[in-house]
Amino acid sequence: MSEAHQEGQPSLRPQDVPELSLAIPLYNEQDNVENVVTNLVAALEAAHVDYELVLVNNGSEDRTGEIIERLARENHRLVPVHIPVNQGYGWGIITGLKHCRGRYLGYAWGDNQVRAEDVVKIFDRLRQGDVDMVKALRIERHDGLQRLIITRVYNTVFPFFFPVYSKDVNGCPKIFTREAYEAIAPKSRDWFLDAEIMIKAHKLGLRVAEIPVIFYPRSSGKSKVRWKTVLEFALNMIRYRLGGGL
């Protein structure tokens, strides 16, 4: 199987390019993937959004890939993409974004902690036309003490390295105009991806809006963020600051 093998995607004419493409990275999310996809599909269709969801099996070792394939057979707007071996959070997202064909594109997590209705709100804000990118701002979080501490430390330290004025640099979903995404051209294969996007958006003078959301507790599965992630963030911030970028 190739690194980004996809099945079930119809041959589309240019006029069939969807309005919105969302990449959903999924790593060992067999207990979440069906709910995440079903809820997103329902919310997008209720809002009359012409969409496609690129479901990225990011090297999962459980049944995530099998479930993705079944869901894609049932809905031609779902595009399955498989990465045989996990190469990091960022690489799963970048791989998915490369398969997104929409006029607007972005990514949302596959852990069901941001409600599908909030994803639609974020997209509705973007297509008002006065900004280049819209992201979630998690104003209330229910994801455990460890992750809360990690996030607060990160968001406190980050402004000392980069003039990015956001209280939630890693807030997701993030959705862009096609032009904004191509200008940012993210490269980070690891957890620094969200930071890279925010740094580049600031440098490029892009207009970024934030939509307040509640970050709900996981109903299934485990967070992939660990204390090891903090060290990775710190090293990447230093490397990026000293090296002038990726």
135, 211 Cβ separation under 8 angstroms: yes
pTM summary value: 0.85
Q: How many domains does the chain have?
A: 1
CA dihedral angle for residue 204, residue 157, residue 239, residue 131, rounded to 10 degrees: -20
Q: Is the pLDDT of residue 41 over 60?
A: yes
CA distance 46 to 118: 13
What pLDDT band is residue 138 in, cutting at 50, 70 and 90?
very high
Instruction: Provide the token pair at 70.
Output: 């079944």
More confident residue, 94 or 239: 94
- Mean pLDDT calculated for residue range 167-189: 96
- The parent domain of residue 100 ranges over 5-243
124: CB partners within 8 A, 6+ apart: 47
Helix, strand or coil for residue 127?
Answer: coil
What pLDDT band is residue 144 in, cutting at 50, 70 and 90?
low
What pLDDT band is residue 39 in, cutting at 50, 70 and 90?
very high
49, 120 Cβ separation under 8 angstroms: yes
Query: 39: domain CATH number?
Result: 3.90.550.10
What pLDDT band is residue 15 in, cutting at 50, 70 and 90?
low
Q: Is the pLDDT of residue 152 over 80?
A: no
Q: Is the pLDDT of residue 1 over 50?
A: no
Q: How far is CA 65 from the centre of its chain?
A: 18
pLDDT digits (tens, 9 = 90+) for 94-103: 999 999 999 9
Angle at 33 between CA 101 and CA 86, to 5 degrees: 75
DSSP readout, 24-37?
EEESS-TTTHHHHH
Helix axis angle, 64-74 to 33-46, nearest 10°: 30
pLDDT of residue 9: 41
CA distance 182 to 174: 14
Q: Is the pLDDT of residue 219 over 50?
A: yes
What pLDDT band is residue 81 in, cutting at 50, 70 and 90?
very high
DSSP letter (8 states) at residue 15: G
Q: What is the 3-state secondary structure (H, E, C) of 79-111?
A: EEEEECCCCCHHHHHHHHHHCCCCCEEEECCCC
The overall average pLDDT reported for the chain is: 88
What pLDDT band is residue 227 in, cutting at 50, 70 and 90?
low
pLDDT digits (tens, 9 = 90+) for 54-66: 999 999 999 999 9
Residue type, 85: V
Percent of the chain at pLDDT above 70?
A: 84
What pLDDT band is residue 147 in, cutting at 50, 70 and 90?
low
Q: How many CB atoms lie within 10 A of CB 104?
A: 23
pLDDT of residue 10: 41
